[in-house]
């Protein structure tokens, strides 16, 4: 494997982008070439040997840019190692236990033989876009629940699989 990895993401308020950038940094530290890009800006996945796709969770659905990216590139993605991540729970649950993928992501995993999916905690803070997001913040349930140590461990495991095989 030459080790050129795309980390594509769908985000509304930037929290998932920061997770994707962290994953790309860890992949690079482990000897791979990795690039984090907004899913909607990726024209082709042909130059990449492997792909990680992440999406924020909104009302039980993966971010539309992540869903559209997978649909648009499904044939090419099916030919590459593929990992998925979600970000979203606004509590510590994602650090305490494995949270299964939402139904739409589960379907993608089945169709494309995804290597693995993980759910990380999300972030929702003052100034977030969207009516529902503002209601959640007003109710006092916002905050930053991303566990960057866990994100880095997962990314290092993905790097190890790519560098040394499974």
Instruction: Give the CATH number for residue 105.
Output: 3.40.50.360
What is the model's pLDDT at position 166? Answer: 57
Residues of the chain with pLDDT under 50: none
Q: How many domains does the chain have?
A: 1
Nearest 5°: the CA angle 126, 18, 103 is: 90
What is the model's pLDDT at position 165? Answer: 81
What is the model's pLDDT at position 132? Answer: 74
Q: What is the pLDDT of residues 70-82, one digit of tens each?
A: 999 999 999 999 9
* CB 132 within 8 Å of CB 59: yes
Domain range for 107 = 4-164
Q: What is the pLDDT of residues 89-106, one digit of tens each?
A: 888 889 889 999 999 999
What is the model's pLDDT at position 2? Answer: 57
Cα 142 to Cα 28: distance, rounded to the nearest angstrom: 32
Tell me, letter by letter, the H, E, C secondary structure of 118-143: EEECCEECCCCCCHHHHHHHHCCCCE
Burial of 83 (0-12, 13-18, 19+ CB in 10 A): buried
Cα 90 to Cα 146: distance, rounded to the nearest angstrom: 9
The closest alpha carbon to 27, from 166, 114, 153, belongs to 153
């Amino acid at each position: 494997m030459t080790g050129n990895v795309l980390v594509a993401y769908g985000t509304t308020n930037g929290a998932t982008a920061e997770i994707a950038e962290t994953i790309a940094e860890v992949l690079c530290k482990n000897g791979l070439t990795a690039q984090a890009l907004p899913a909607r800006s990726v024209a082709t996945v042909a130059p990449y040997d492997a792909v990680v796709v992440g999406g924020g969770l909104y009302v039980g659905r993966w971010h539309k840019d992540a869903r559209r990216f997978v649909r648009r590139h499904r044939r090419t993605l099916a030919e590459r190692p593929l990992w998925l991540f979600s970000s979203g729970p606004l509590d510590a649950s994602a650090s305490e236990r494995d949270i299964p993928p939402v139904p739409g992501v589960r379907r993608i995993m089945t169709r494309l033989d995804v290597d693995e999916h993980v759910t990380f905690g999300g972030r929702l803070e003052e100034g977030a876009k969207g009516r529902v997001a503002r209601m959640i913040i007003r109710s006092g349930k916002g905050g930053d629940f991303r566990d960057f140590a866990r994100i880095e461990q997962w990314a290092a495991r993905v790097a190890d699989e790519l560098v040394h095989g499974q």
